[in-house]
Structure 1
Amino acid sequence: MKVVFFGTGGFATYPLVCLTSCHNAALVITSCGKIESPVASCCRELGIPLLAVANPNEDNTAKIIRKQSPDILVVIDYGYILKDIILSIPRSGSINLHPSLLPKYRGASPIQRTIMNGEKETGVTTFFLSRYMDRGDIIMKQPAVVGRNESYGELKIRLTRIGAGLLLKSIALVEKGFKGIPQEGDATYAPKIKKEERKINWNESAEKIKNLILALSPTPGAYTTFRGKRLIILRGRALPGRGKRPGEIINNDGLLVSTADGILQILELRPEGRVTMSAYSFKLGYKPRQDEIMGG
């Protein structure tokens, strides 16, 4: 099929590569930015025609797409809601690959929210786009187990690979005339991560803090403060036990920190202005003292 592809972020790159092996990617549209997007870099390497636009819903963008006479639009990790002026162009419809099992976790941050909430299962969904975000008719779903200590970065890579295969199967179904099935079940939402959500609250449970750390690793990173400077924690483990006060370092050898109901063992972290390091390297360089407080 002749495809016009919309994408910007890293979740879109592997599906785009797989798509080009089976279909004609006539044009890729990405967002404008000071830094080249992952999709733009991918197109440059593959030699795919690329158009960067500030507003995809303008008449000029629609005219460019119409000239391509696409069979289908594919939208992945793009960042804009496309209007009917764009969605109505392709003969076979416009589809999206979303990293959750819709209608759960509609919105901008489904992978992060899935891990943050301690979910044991997630997946990917393909669906027809409509004027309302993540509410179109379902084409296919594929579930996936969330690893107990799996980070956002790790799960994102795994889901993009699962999603690439599902996308190709879904396009084949659409090519045969499949029109999708309405979404069923209670919807939940995954809004964009706010800056204030990144700060670790040591009065929370160890498990909840661990989930926050994994959900924001490797970027943008959950953080606390130590000796007046920001400390991003990238990997941790929830353990039983109790210290005197939440945030207190109760064992400097293993970098164990007291929480509301247990202990968080810090495994990997990045001090302000420094590179990522292990807890052992941090201990050697900073020599944290037992009874020091994080987040104070």
Structure 2
Amino acid sequence: MKILLLTHAFNSLTQRLHIELKKRGHAVSVEFDVNDAVTQQAVDQSTPDLILAPFLKRAIAESIWSKYLCLIVHPGIKGDRGPSALDWAILNGEKEWGVTVLQAIEEMDAGDIWASVNFPMRETTKASLYRNEVTEAALKGVLLAVDSMREEQFKPEPLDYNQVDVRGKLQPLMRQTDRRIDWQQDNTETVLRKIRSADGFPGVQDMLYGKELSLFDAHKAEGLRGEPGAILGYCGVAICRATVDGAVWIGHLKDKQGAHPFKLPATQVLGKQLATLTEITDGYSDIRYEEQEGVGYLHFRFYNGAMSTTQCNRLREAYIEARKRDTRVIVLMGGPDFWSNGIHLNTIEAAESPADESWANINAINDLAREIITTESHVTVSALQGNAGAGGVFLARAADHVWARSGVVLNPHYKDMGNLFGSEYWTYLLPKRVGEERAHRITQARLPMGTVEANELGLLDAYFAIDNVAFVEQLKQRAKLLAEDPALAEKLEQKCSTRQADEQEKPLAEYRREELERMNLNFYGFDPSYHVARYNFVYKVPKSRTPVTIAHHRDIRRRNSEDWSEVS
């Protein structure tokens, strides 16, 4: 079946559907919904069997939905309608929510229902729910709908609010007034719900030191309290603010009127005001270490998976300390939503010299990668609970083993960020693991990759479990077996011998020098592509066209084929 994914952006849900539908033999192409004329052109060129809209910000034109079957993926239960489905579900404290796949008609979200999949709500951010529960439910719903297209007897279910199982309703666009925090009245749970309902977009507007800022990345501050609304201090990137019954950590802020009107670490946004605050030494932490049965687990929950120069340095120091422990295995856990997405483009964009900060950041992540690669005392594991992209994928490959949760999406390429060459010793790690031909395929494709393909190519060593809880449980069992392996000492000896042989053949320093020579041109050379791409990414500049790497219907080599396959 030819399926056109019509979407506002190639976000995590769209990427997952792209991967899974292709895996099931469907011909899949993607078109960014730029405007009606461009979308109509794409439909005329592609003549799809199905138009699937997983992430739209406006209605599909009647000229399209009246001629083609168009299915909308709506992040709400049956009957839920409106653009703020998840926002309201979190703010209202819903215990169960869902995803509905419905047919596009003139009235928004009111078309016939092709599939509906519910899930229990989790106390977390909108963004985390979207990447996990919503994505898994959407995948199930879409696959059910696609299978139903083959059934002659199938008829979609009309929206009928008299039906017992239709609990949703039309909800308005959520506004800032709906989630405004009253620090003199709201308890910790309420404050967290309000911020989480707006994380990662649009954030909750609030006043701090006479400036209107948007709040993101909120967590309960255990054991802290004070005058409601007061800033109690800071720890790491976060500030602590008191509620009526406790306090919350706020990790990121956005100053829309400031010089850098995008999300940044809260302490960075406050700037000089930080000098007036007390540092709380034992509070918020985006790096955490634990031990269990001979295994050290190093967690690094970096917001959106971005790793700044400072974070890379702190993680490297934490890793070195973990290596000193009397354990046999070190597991690099990342965070529950992301393992790593490489260098921190927002902090780079906000730097006085983005080129200099880019250079500092890539060297800091390289320093971390080198520590992992040269570890002789432990078996190392990268455990991908969440997605990974760009340098984060190759940083993970620095470990002896890479294990991933089955639903994880990898983007093992740099080129979409202004033709970045990339570093993290990938020119050593990747060919050594997968071979030159596969290494070229992985880095040049510019396509998201699922765990099945990544495992087949050798980028992963194993994948298992769908949800995070089951993944961590199985991960710990596997790590324990590694630590208890009677042949562990022999394997470590072999690991050291292999590393020494590799070093004699070509030193790590030489791989790094060659990679950074190319990166230096990206950062300081005459071609500004990286700086333009980074700016567009950070400032969320809408795409003006869909790249042919995913828009196969726009590739003249594929356009006339029945399944958009490339014609040589």
Tell me which residue corresponds to 2:219. Answer: 236
Tell me which residue corresponds to 2:381. Answer: none
- Pairing partner for 1:202 from 170, 183, 207: 183
CA distance in 2, matches of 1:269, 1:4: 36
Tell me which residue corresponds to 1:124. Answer: 99
Please give the per-residue CA displacement for 1:29-72, whole angstroms capped at 9, x wherever unaligned.
Answer: 3133xxxxxxxxxxxxxxxxxxxxx22xx5x8546524533222
Letter in 1 for 2:182: N
Letter in 2 for 1:200: I
CA distance in 2, matches of 1:238, 1:143: 31
Matched, 1:258 2:243: yes
- Indicate the larger mover: 184-193 or 74-83: 184-193
How many angstroms does 1:6 deviate by? 1.0
Tell me which residue corresponds to 1:180. Answer: 156
Give the 3 Å change call, closer, same or farther, for CA 130–240 of structure 1 in structure 2: farther
Question: How many residue pairs were aligned?
Answer: 254
Give the 3 Å change call, closer, same or farther, for CA 66–268 of structure 1 in structure 2: closer
Give the 3 Å change call, closer, same or farther, for CA 80–267 of structure 1 in structure 2: closer
Give the 3 Å change call, closer, same or farther, for CA 239–103 of structure 1 in structure 2: farther
Paired residues for 1:129-168 under 5 Å = 129-148=104-123, 150-158=124-132, 159-168=134-143
Three-state SS of the structure 1 residue aligned to 2:264 is: coil
Please give the per-residue CA displacement for 1:149-188, whole angstroms capped at 9, x wherever unaligned.
Answer: x111111101123312321222011221322112243542
Tell me which residue corresponds to 1:268. Answer: 251
TM-score w.r.t. length of structure 2: 0.40
- Pairing partner for 2:199 from 217, 223, 245: 217
- Pairing partner for 1:101 from 77, 86, 108: 77
Query: Which has the larger strand fraction?
Result: 1
CA distance in 2, matches of 1:135, 1:21: 31
Tell me which residue corresponds to 1:50. Answer: none
CA distance in 1, matches of 2:42, 2:201: 35
Letter in 2 for 1:81: A
- The answer as to whether partners of 2:233 and 2:277 remain within 8 angstroms in 1 is yes
- The answer as to whether partners of 2:77 and 2:167 remain within 8 angstroms in 1 is no
How many angstroms does 1:82 deviate by? 1.9
- Pairing partner for 1:87 from 57, 65, 75: 65
Three-state SS of the structure 2 residue aligned to 1:29 is: strand
CA distance in 2, matches of 1:241, 1:286: 20
How many angstroms does 1:235 deviate by? 0.8
Three-state SS of the structure 2 residue aligned to 1:175 is: coil
Letter in 1 for 2:208: F
Give the 3 Å change call, closer, same or farther, for CA 171–208 of structure 1 in structure 2: same
Give the 3 Å change call, closer, same or farther, for CA 203–214 of structure 1 in structure 2: same
- The answer as to whether partners of 1:66 and 1:89 remain within 8 angstroms in 2 is no
Three-state SS of the structure 2 residue aligned to 1:247 is: coil
How many angstroms does 1:5 deviate by? 2.2
Tell me which residue corresponds to 1:114. Answer: 89
Q: CA RMSD in A?
A: 3.4
Query: Which has the larger helix fraction?
Result: 2
Give the 3 Å change call, closer, same or farther, for CA 143–186 of structure 1 in structure 2: closer
Three-state SS of the structure 1 residue aligned to 2:253 is: strand
CA distance in 2, matches of 1:204, 1:226: 17
Letter in 1 for 2:4: V
Letter in 1 for 2:49: D
Matched, 1:226 2:208: yes
Please give the per-residue CA displacement for 1:222-243, whole angstroms capped at 9, x wherever unaligned.
Answer: 2422322345242133889986
Give the 3 Å change call, closer, same or farther, for CA 192–208 of structure 1 in structure 2: same
Tell me which residue corresponds to 2:323. Answer: none
Please give the per-residue CA displacement for 1:50-106, whole angstroms capped at 9, x wherever unaligned.
Answer: xxxx22xx5x8546524533222211212221243211323xx221211111212x1
CA distance in 2, matches of 1:100, 1:240: 36
How many angstroms does 1:197 deviate by? 4.9
Three-state SS of the structure 2 residue aligned to 1:172 is: helix
CA distance in 1, matches of 2:275, 2:100: 45
Give the 3 Å change call, closer, same or farther, for CA 233–200 of structure 1 in structure 2: farther
Three-state SS of the structure 2 residue aligned to 1:164 is: helix
How many angstroms does 1:211 deviate by? 0.5
Q: Which has the higher contact order (CA 8 A, sep 6+)?
A: 1
CA distance in 1, matches of 2:84, 2:229: 28
- The answer as to whether partners of 2:82 and 2:171 remain within 8 angstroms in 1 is yes
- The answer as to whether partners of 1:30 and 1:78 remain within 8 angstroms in 2 is no
Unmatched runs of 5 consecutive residues or more in structure 1: 33-53, 290-296
Tell me which residue corresponds to 2:21. Answer: 19
Letter in 2 for 1:5: L
TM-score w.r.t. length of structure 1: 0.72
Three-state SS of the structure 2 residue aligned to 1:171 is: helix
The structure whose Rg is larger is 2
Letter in 2 for 1:8: H
